[in-house]
A and B are shown apart, each in its own frame.
Chain A
Amino acid sequence: MKPQEYQQLVRENQPPRRTWRNVILAFVVGGSFSLIGQIVLDFVSGVERTTDEASAITLAIMILIGAVLTGLGIYDEIAEIGGAGAAVPITGFSNTVTAAAMEFRREGFILGMGAKMFVIAGPVLVYGILSGFLVALIKSVVLGYF
């Protein structure tokens, strides 16, 4: 049997994926995190002066929720059900940081936890900043902000 033939055979015989079930669960779980975020945002908006400050504090609280759920060993179970619904909200970002910190703490606080805390969240930061930088630069040049 040629490799190509076998690869074709494997593609044809993948187990059925419960795509729609997974998408709906992602919708529900991701929506629920957003709903919790909205409740927090409404509460914080009453106390804070600007919307930017209110959203920053909301994100921080969501990050706290994500970290606690991870520490309790619950977040990975939620992700097993919710998939992207657990990964995409900012709680999921918090989970990647906390999970890595917990995992690599065994190799010490400096070379383990310290060095590897952003092993998964790192790319999000790097490309968020790079793309933000580029688009802000272009916009500033075009609109003559400088």
Chain B
Amino acid sequence: MQYLIAFVVGGLICAAAQLVLEYTKLAPVHVLVGLTVLGAISAGIGIYEPFLQFAGAGALVPVSGFGSSITRGMLSEIKRLGWEGLFTGAFEITGLGLAAAVVFGSLMAIASRPRD
């Protein structure tokens, strides 16, 4: 059941993004930024957390989950450290993914090259 929910929720977020792309002249990166900001803000208001618990990877894998991780990291660090958490928290949860993107991206760039 959790698999079906993840599939449907993740799919719906992408379908909504596709609708925006279809009806506007925005580039994909605009939509990605929009979704990330949306995720970050809804995590701040406290609605992304229950959403994550309901949809699992369906809420985590879309880039809005990345945005929510930024805010969630900040909030948990604030509770631990105080105001410094505003700055250390951004990469608390996302750091692993970012470092992974840099490392794997570099490896691929060395191993492979663009083709048509």
Contact = CB atoms under 8 A, between A and B. Distances in A.
B58 A34 contact: yes
B59 to A, nearest CB: 8
B14 A102 contact: no
Contact of A73 (B57, B67, B71, B112): B112
Given A73-B112, A97-B102, A102-B114, A83 B96 contact: no
B114 A98 contact: no
B33 A88 contact: no
Contacts, number: 280
Interface string A84-113: 110111111110111111110100000001
Nearest to A94: B101
Report whether over half of chain B's contact residues are helix, strand or loop; otherwise say mixed: helix
Interface in A1-47: 17, 19, 22-42
Interface residues of A, number: 81
Interface in A61-86: 62-64, 67-68, 70-73, 82-85
Contacts of A120: 29
A131 B60 contact: no
A139 B85 CA distance: 13
**Most chain B beta-carbon contacts within 10 A, residue among A34, A62, A127:** A34
Contacts of B74: 132-133, 136
A64 B106 CA distance: 11
B78 A67 contact: no
A93 B32 contact: yes
Interface in B86-113: 86, 89-90, 93-98, 100-102, 104-113
Contacts of B10: 30-31, 33-35, 37, 89
Contact of B14 (A38, A64, A88): A88
Interface of A: 17, 19, 22-42, 52, 55-60, 62-64, 67-68, 70-73, 82-85, 87-94, 96-103, 105, 113, 117, 120-121, 123-125, 127-129, 131-133, 135-140, 145-146
8 contacts: A23-B18, A27-B12, A36-B57, A38-B56, A89-B61, A92-B63, A124-B36, A135-B40
